[in-house]
A and B are shown apart, each in its own frame.
Chain A
Amino acid sequence: GAGVSQSPSNKVTEKGKDVELRCDPISGHTALYWYRQRLGQGLEFLIYFQGNSAPDKSGLPSDRFSAERTGESVSTLTIQRTQQEDSAVYLCASSLGVYRGETQYFGPGTRLLVL
């Protein structure tokens, strides 16, 4: 079946603008995760959803970052008033459930460049 998809694949924006990144998880996957990968850095956990609730937002770097999820499907990550340090690849993953040991399946990522 289809994997995790993300859009746009690339986004260039000017500092101070808002951006919205989209993730479509694998159908039937109740858990959804957002990560960020900055150049030369490891992946950083941002937030995860169980259904449409977000039990763990501890990784969001500032209040400029927010995320929503509609039911058990699409999620959007919004960055307000973008800064140059927000430039990174934003990766989304989904898993069948939230039980420990579930494999996470990753999308191709959105490459964000803030000028």
Chain B
Amino acid sequence: KQEVTQIPAALSVPEGENLVLNCSFTDSAIYNLQWFRQDPGKGLTSLLLIQSSQREQTSGRLNASLDKSSGRSTLYIAASQPGDSATYLCAVGSDYTGANSKLTFGKGITLSVRP
């Protein structure tokens, strides 16, 4: 059974800092990994999707990397801003026969960026 872990559960940093959010998963037989952002009272917003054949994806100040063999992904946020404050969720699409995009989520990291 796939398990996804995100540590720490919460993180507080000053504005402008570069930071790395970590995600680990137990079963390396994945076909993709997604990073989502969740704001209070709102749904999830997909930030980056990395296919299993890829090593990283970039969007603006965000860069996500994937190392399948070690079961790890990182989300790098450059020059953090108060507007980046949210919960960041890592989700793994696992290689279930006949199934598609059943995602297994971590519990998320709640990020607070202080002005």
Contacts and interface: CB of A to CB of B under 8 A. Distances in A.
B46 A103 contact: yes
Interface string B28-51: 000110101000011111100101
A59 to B, nearest CB: 8
Contacts of A42: 4, 89, 105-108
B58 interface: no
A100 B98 contact: no
Contact of A101 (B43, B49, B91, B107): B49
Interface residues of A, number: 30
A104 B46 contact: yes
B104 interface: yes
A55 interface: yes
Contact of B101 (A41, A59, A95, A107): A95
Nearest to B49: A103
Contact of B34 (A4, A35, A103): A103
B44 A106 contact: yes
B105 A33 contact: no
A43 interface: yes
B41 to A, nearest CB: 8
Give 3 closest A-B pairs by Cβ, nearest first. Answer: A98-B100, A106-B44, A106-B43
Given A33-B103, A106-B44, 5 more contacts: A40-B107, A45-B103, A48-B101, A100-B93, A102-B101
26 contacts: A33-B102, A40-B107, A41-B107, A42-B89, A42-B106, A42-B108, A43-B89, A43-B91, A45-B102, A55-B98, A59-B102, A93-B44, A95-B101, A98-B100, A98-B101, A100-B101, A101-B93, A103-B46, A103-B49, A104-B46, A104-B103, A105-B46, A106-B43, A106-B44, A106-B45, A108-B42
